[in-house]
Amino acid sequence: MSQSTVTVTDVHREYQQGEFTVKALQGVSLSIEPGEFTVLMGSSGSGKTTLLNIIGGLDSPSTGSVEIDGQELSSMAANDLSDLRLHKFGFVFQAYNLIPVLSAFENTEFVPLMQGVGVEERKTRSMEMLKAVGLEGMENRLPSELSGGQQQRVAVARALAGNPMLILADEPTANLDSTTGKELIKLMRHLNEDKGVTFIFATHDPKVMDAAKRVIHLEDGRIVEDERR
Amino acid sequence: MLLQMAFRNLRRNLRRTIITSAAVAVGMIVLVMSNTLRAGQYDDMISSSVSQLAGHVVVQHPEYQQEQETELVVEDVDGLVAALKQEIPNTVITTRTRLGGILASSSSPTVIGLTAVDPLSEGKVSDMADKIVMGTWVQNDSKSIVIGQNMADLLQADLGDRLVFTTSVDGEMNSHLYRLTGVFRTGAEEVDAFVGYVSIASVDTVLGRPNTANQVAVHLGNASQTNAILERVERVVESQGRKDVAVQPWPEILPDVIAMIKVDQVSNEMISISLMFIVAMGILNTMLMNVLERSKEFGVLMAIGLKKGALVRMILLEAALVGIIGGLSGAVLGMMASYPIVVNGLDLTKMMGEGMVINGAVASTILYGRYDFLWIGGYILLSVLCAVLSALYPAWKIQQLTPVDAMRS
C-alpha cells in the first residue's frame, strides 16, 4: 500500500478573538492519497481554508498532527517547513498573489530558481508550464498587464513549475468569471491526470466540486461528509 | 533574483524611492561640503603651522619643546645643516632662534617676539616673505629687520629707520642696532603688532652664542614622507655623535594643532552621526510603511517557500540600494557644490580680516576646500549603513509574521 500524501489526525485549531475563542477546526482527521483531486467544501467559516493552511504548513494546529509524505510538520523548524513548501507544495491563492514586479515568466521561474534548478532547465520548465496554461507569448507581461484569469493561470504555472507532489488551491475560481473558472478547472484536472499531481481545493464553487474525484464537506470545523467519486 | 526584485520594488514606487534617496542625498551633501571645507582648513592649519613654527622634522634641544627658552640651543648648526643637505638634498632646511625683548625707535618702544632666521631658506617655506607690503624680506646681514605693519605704525618707523633691540641674556641686558628693511601685513593684529624677523647671523652677537639655533628644521614637499625623512635625520644626528638634541616629527612639535584638529573632527563626527540619525529616522518611517504595505506580498513569498532569512535580506537589500543611490548621488552633488570652494576658496576676509592666528601661526582667511575621498567614501558607507539599520526593524517585524498572518494583513 502506498504512503498517503497527507495524513491529518485529530486536528484542532482555535483562535483567540478578543475575549472569544473561535474553534476553526474540531478534531479533523483525513488522509489524501497520491494523485487525488480533492475538494474541501463548506460555507464561509466552515474551516476549509484553515485546514488547507495547516496542511500547507502555513499555519499550525492547536492540537493534533499533520504528516506530509510521512513527515510530521509540528516537529519541523521554520526553515525546514519553508523547504518543504518549496519542494513539495504548490500554492494557488484566491487573489492570484503573484509578485507584482516580476513578469509572468519570472513569477513562474521563481520557485525552480529558489529550488536551485539550473538556468536552462528552469527556462524550459517555466516555458512549458506557461504553454500548458495557455499563456504562450505573454511571458514578459507583468501581472498588472494580465487579466484576472490570466493571472490565475500564471499562479497555476508557478505552482506547477516546482514539480510539487501536492497543489493546494484556496478558492482559485472565486475571482474569475464563469467561463474562465471552468477553463482553469479543466486545466488543473488535465494536469492532475496527465502529470499525476495531487490537488486539494478549498472552495464552495460547484464547478470545482463537479470536477472533483473526492469531496469532503466541512461544517463548523468538522468533517460531515467524505464522498469519493 | 533578490537583487533584481529589490531594484524593481524600488522602481515600482519611484516617487517614494526618490524622496527617501533624496533625504539621504541631502544629508550626504551637507556632510561632503562640510568635510571638504574642513579638510582644506586642516591642511592650511597644518601647513601654516609647520612652515611658520616648526618644520616636518625638527632638531632641537631636548628641553626646548617644553621650556621654549632661548638659551636651549643646538650647537654647531652649520655642521648639522651641511650634513643634512648632503643626506637629504631635495629639502629645505631652516634654522630659527626665538627671543623676546624690546624694540625701540626714536619715538617709542614696544615689546617684540623676534624670530631670527636664515632669510633665504625661510623665504622658501614661510609665506611671511610674501606678505611684505613695504621694502623687502629680511636681508642676509646683521642689520636688517622686518616687522609687522601695526608695530611699524606704533614705532612710527619708516624703511631705513634705526631700531634698537634690547634683550636679557644670562641676566645682562644686550642691545643690537637694526635698520628697518621691510614691513609685512598678515591681517592678524596679534602678529602684525608683535612679531619681527631678523637674520640669524645678527643674533649670534646679541646672544654671544655663534653658530647655534633653537631649531633646525627640515621642510618637505610632501608631509607623508615625514617618517622616512625622520629616520634619515636621526642617522645624521647619530653619525655626528650628538647627544644633546632631540629629533622630532611635526606632530610632536605642534601637539596643540593636532589636538585642535582632533577635537574639531570629533565634534564634526558627532554632527555627522546626528545628521545621519535624522536621515535614518526618515528612512525608517518610509521603509516601515513600504514593508507593511507589502506584507501580503511577503506572506505569499514565505508561503511559496522563500525562507525568512532571504526575505530579510531582500528588505535590507532594498534599503541598502536606497543608501547607495542617495549616498552616491549626494556625494557627487556635494562635490559639485563644493567645487567653487576647492578652486576659488571661500573668502572670509570681510568677516575675519586678511589673516587669522591659529595656535601662533597665521592662516589665510580665504579657506580652500579639499576633497577627502577617504572620508567621502566613509560617508557613503555610513549612509548605506544607516539605511540598512533603519530597515532592520521593519524587516524584523515582517519576519515575526507567519505566512498566513502576513497574507491576511
Contact B5 A58 (CB under 8 A): no
Residues paired with residue B164 on neighbouring β-strands, in sequence order: B104, B177
- Is A47 a residue whose pLDDT tops 50? yes
pLDDT of residue B6: 82
Nearest CA in chain B to A108: B304
| Cβ–Cβ gap B9/A91 under 8 Å | no
Residue in chain B lying closest to A77 (CA): B307
Interchain CB contact of A105 with B (< 8 Å): no
Tell me if the pTM is above 0.80.
Answer: no
Q: How many residues does chain B have?
A: 409
Compare all CA atoms of chain A with the CA of B407 and give the residue at the minimum distance: A97
Cβ(A110)–Cβ(B4) under 8 Å?
no
Q: Write the DSSP string, A173-201.
A: TTTS-HHHHHHHHHHHHHHHHHH--EEEE
Interface test with B, best of A114, A123, A154 (most B CBs within 10 A): A114
- CA of B20, closest CA in chain A: separation in Å? 20
The distance of B8 to chain A (nearest Cα, Å) reads 6
pLDDT tens digits, residue range A107-163? 999 999 989 899 999 999 999 889 888 888 999 999 999 998 889 889 988 988 888
- Across the interface, whether the CB atoms of B11 and A101 are under 8 A apart is answered yes
- pLDDT tens for residues A130-144? 988 888 899 999 999
Secondary structure (3-state) at A58: coil
Round the average pLDDT of chain A to a whole number and report it.
Answer: 88
Phi–psi pair at B57, nearest 5 degrees: -130, 130
**Chain B: residue nearest A81 by CA?**
B305
pLDDT of residue B83: 94
Q: Which residue has the cell 492570484?
A: A96
For residues A56 and A53, give the distance between their C-alpha atoms in angstroms, rounded to a whole number.
5
| Tens digit of each residue's pLDDT, chain B (409 residues) | 778 778 788 887 888 889 889 988 999 999 999 999 999 989 888 888 898 888 999 999 999 988 888 889 999 999 999 999 999 998 999 999 999 999 999 999 999 999 999 999 998 888 888 899 999 999 988 899 999 999 999 999 999 999 999 998 878 888 999 999 999 998 888 899 999 999 998 888 778 888 899 999 999 988 888 999 999 999 999 999 988 899 999 999 999 888 999 999 999 889 888 888 888 888 888 888 888 888 888 888 899 888 888 889 988 998 999 999 999 999 999 999 999 999 999 888 888 777 777 777 888 888 899 999 999 999 999 889 988 988 898 888 888 888 888 887 6
In angstroms, what separates the C-alpha of A132 from chain B's closest C-alpha?
20
Report yes or no: B301 at the A interface, CB cutoff 8 Å. yes
The whole-angstrom separation of Cα B201 and Cα B357 is 28
What is the reported pLDDT for A2? 58
Contact partners, residue A91, CB within 8 Å, separation at least 6: A56, A85, A159, A167, A168, A169, A170, B300, B303, B304
Q: Which one of B12, B303, B402 has the shortest CB-CB distance to A101?
A: B12
CB of A79 within 8 Å of a chain B CB? The answer is yes
Please, which pLDDT band fits residue A1 given cuts at 50, 70 and 90? very low
- Between B5, B9, B303, which is nearest A91 by CB? B303
* Pairwise CB contact (< 8 Å): B304 & A58: no
Which of B304, B311, B405, B407 has the most A C-beta neighbours within 10 Å, making it the best mutation to test the interface with A? B304
Q: What is the DSSP letter of B224?
A: G
- Smallest Cα distance from A100 to chain B, Å: 8
B304: nearest CB among A53, A59, A85: A85
CB atoms within 10 A of CB B297: 18
In the numeric block, which cell numbers belong to residue A133?
A: 496554461
Distance from CA of B9 to the nearest CA of A (A): 6
